[in-house]
Structure 1
Amino acid sequence: MPSATDELIQRLYQEPPDGFVAARTAAINEAKEAGDRDTAKRLAALKKPTVAAWVVNLLALRRPELIDDLVDLSAALREAQRGLKGDELRELTAQRRQVVSALVDAARRLALEASGPAAKLPLGEVEATLTAALAEPDVAAQVRTGRLVRAASYAGFGEVPRPRLRLVTDSSAEVDDEDEEIEEADAGAEVVEFPQPSAKEKAAAERRRREAEQKQRELRRELSAAQAAEKRADEQLEKSEAAERDAEHLVEDLDAELAELERRRTEAQADVARRKQARRTAERETAAARRRVGDVQAALEDLEVDEPD
C-alpha cells in the first residue's frame, strides 16, 4: 500500500513537464507549512522529467498491466535466445514489435488526454525506452516505478551473441554424405602411425607454449587495467551526470522562485496603483471640502457685513 507521500509523488510525475516545477514547489510549501520536513526534503529531491520520460511514466502509472505484459515478453525472449530456439525467437521478435507499437500508441493517447491534442510528443524516444525495457531488466524495473527522469536507449537486443548459422543446401548435404563415406572408408583402412616429434621440435613447441602463456598473462593484466579504467570512467560519468542533474534542478528551483517573485512583484505593482488611485481620490475630496469650507466662511462674512449697526 503506497504511502500518502508516494501517492503525491505519483501525481507529480503524471503532471506535464511544463507544470512539474510549480506543482512540486506547491507540494513542498504545503509540507513545510504542515511541519513535515522529511516529506518536503523528499519532494525537493525530485527531478523534472523530460517529455519522453513523462509519457512513459503516464503509461506505467495509469496502465501498469501493459508494462507487466512487456516484462513477461522480455523474459520469454531471453529464455528463447538462451535456448537458441529459432522459430520461437522469430515469433517472439515479431510479437515484440507489435507489443512495443501498441504500448507507444497507448502512451500517446494518455499524453494527449493529459496535455491536449496540440502537444508535440517525442514518440521515437518513448519507443526506444520501451525497447530498452524489453532488453534490460534494470530498465524495466525503472519504467515500472513511473519515475523516469529521462528516456533510455539500447543498441542491441538479447543477452548472448547470436551464433553464426550456415545455410544448409542440397549441395552441402551431398558434401556431408561424401564426408560420411570417407569416414566409413577410413574406419576400414589400416592405421598409419605418424613419427614422434624430435627433441628440437618439442623444445620449439614448448617455447611457443610459454610465449603464448606469457602473452596471455600480459593481455590479462592489460584487460584488468582497462576494466579498472573503465570503472573509474563510469564512476566519473555518473558523478558528472549527477552534478549536471543537480545543476538543472537548481536552475528549475531558481526559475520557480523567479516566477513566484515576479508574481509577487505584479501584485505589489497592482497594489501601488490602487493606493495611488485612492490617494488621488482623497486629494480631490480634500480639495472639495476645503472649497466648501471657504464658501461657507465667505457666506458667514457676508451676513455679518449686512447686519445693521
Structure 2
Amino acid sequence: MPGATDELIQRLYESPPEGFVAARTAAIDDARKAGDRATAKRLAALKKPTVAAWVVNLLALRKPELIEELVELSSSLREAQRGLDGAALRELTNQRRQVVSALVTAASKLARAEEPALKLPLGEVEATLTAALAEPDIAAQVRTGRLIRAATYAGFGEVPRPRLRLVTDEALGEDDESAADDEAEVVEFPRERAAVAERRRREFEQRRRDLRRELTNAQAAEKRADGQLERAEAAERDAGHVVEDLDAELAELERRRTEAQADVARRKQARRLAEREAAAARRQVGDVQAALEDLESDEPE
C-alpha cells in the first residue's frame, strides 16, 4: 500500500506541470515544518515533467490497464521478431499502430479534462508510447507515472530491413513463375544489390553515429539545464524562507508596537489623573494657607 508521501508524489505528477514547482515547494515546506527532513529531501529531488511526459503520466496513473496491454503487445512483438515470423510480425505491427493511436486518444482526453486550453504535444506522447512498446526499460519508466520528459525510439519501421518470406511447397506451386523471376533477378544483380546494401549500411552507421553524438550533446545540455534548474529552485526556496522569516519578524514587531501603543495610552491616562490630583492638592494648600492667614490676623493681643 503506498504511503502518504507516495500519494503526494502521485498527485504532483498527475497535476498539470505549470503548478508543479509551487506545489512541490509547498510540500517541502510542510515536511520541514513537521520535522520530516527525509521526506523534504525526497520531494526536493523530484523534477518537473514536460507537458508530453505529464500526459503520459496521467495515462499511466489513471489508466494503468491500458499500459499493461501495451506491455503485453510488446512481448508478442519481440517473440515474433526472434522467431522471424513475418506474417505475425506484420499483423502485430498493424495492431501496434492501432493500440498506440488508441492510447494517444485516451491520454489526450484525460489531459484535456484537466487543462482544456493547454496545447498538447501528441507527437511526443505517441513517440514515448512507441518507445515503451519497443523497450522494456522505457515501459517500466512509463508504468511509474513519474516521467519527466518524452522518450524516443529509432526502431520499428525507421531502419530499412529486408523483407522476409515464408516459403512453403504450396506457395512454390502457386507462384513458380514469380519465384523463377526472383531467382533470376538474384543471379543477375548480386553486385548491385550488395552495393545498395552496403550503402544503406554505411548510411545507417553514419546516422547512428550522428544521433549518438547529438544524444551525448543533448544529455550534457540536459544535465547543465537540470543543474541550473535545481540551483534556481533552491535559491527560490531559500528566498521564500527569508520572506517567511521577515514576515514572522514583522508580525512580532507589529505585536510589540500594538502593546507599546496600549502602554502609552495607559500611561497618558495615569498622567492626566495625576495632573487632576496635583491641581486638587494645590487648591487645598491655597485654601489652608488662606484660612491660616485669616486666623492669624484675628489673633487677640
Is TM more than 0.5 here?
Answer: yes
1:254 Cα deviation after fit = 1.8
1:139 Cα deviation after fit = 2.1
Contact 1:25–1:256 (Cα < 8 Å) also in 2: no
**Structure 2 counterpart of 1:199:** none
String of CA shifts for 1:63-105, please: whole Å, max 9, x gaps: 3212111222334455566533276246414523542234323
Distance 2:132 2:287 in 1: 106
Tell me how large the CA RMSD over aligned residues is: 4.3
Distance 2:70 2:286 in 1: 107
Contact 1:52–1:122 (Cα < 8 Å) also in 2: yes
Contact 1:104–1:123 (Cα < 8 Å) also in 2: no
**Structure 2 counterpart of 1:61:** 61
**Structure 1 counterpart of 2:32:** 29
Amino acid at match of 1:131: T
1:60 Cα deviation after fit = 1.8
1:249 Cα deviation after fit = 1.6
Q: Which runs of 5+ in 1 are unaligned?
A: 166-172, 184-215
**Structure 2 counterpart of 1:108:** 111
> Which of 91, 99, 102 in structure 2 is aligned with 1:99?
102
1:54 Cα deviation after fit = 2.8
SS in structure 2 opposite 1:161? Answer: coil
Change (3 A) 1:89 1:175: same
**Structure 2 counterpart of 1:120:** 118
1:258 Cα deviation after fit = 1.7
Change (3 A) 1:53 1:253: farther
**TM-score normalised by L of structure 2:** 0.64
Q: Which runs of 5+ in 2 are unaligned?
A: 165-173, 185-197, 293-301
**Structure 1 counterpart of 2:244:** 263
Identity score, percent: 43
**TM-score normalised by L of structure 1:** 0.63
**Structure 1 counterpart of 2:51:** 51
**Structure 1 counterpart of 2:272:** 291
Change (3 A) 1:79 1:102: farther
**Structure 2 counterpart of 1:88:** 91
Q: Write out aligned runs for 1:1-309 (5 A).
A: 6=6, 9-17=9-17, 18=19, 19-26=22-29, 29=32, 33-34=35-36, 37=38, 41-78=41-78, 83-85=85-87, 88-89=91-92, 91-108=94-111, 112=114, 117=115, 120=118, 122-124=120-122, 125-154=124-153, 157-158=156-157, 161-163=160-162, 176=177, 237-307=218-288, 308-309=291-292
Contact 2:53–2:150 (Cα < 8 Å) also in 1: yes
Change (3 A) 1:89 1:178: closer
Distance 1:61 1:152 in 2: 18
Distance 1:90 1:57 in 2: 24
SS in structure 2 opposite 1:122? Answer: coil
Contact 2:131–2:152 (Cα < 8 Å) also in 1: yes
**Structure 2 counterpart of 1:211:** none
Distance 2:259 2:137 in 1: 65
Distance 2:240 2:14 in 1: 22
SS in structure 2 opposite 1:138? Answer: helix
1:151 Cα deviation after fit = 2.2
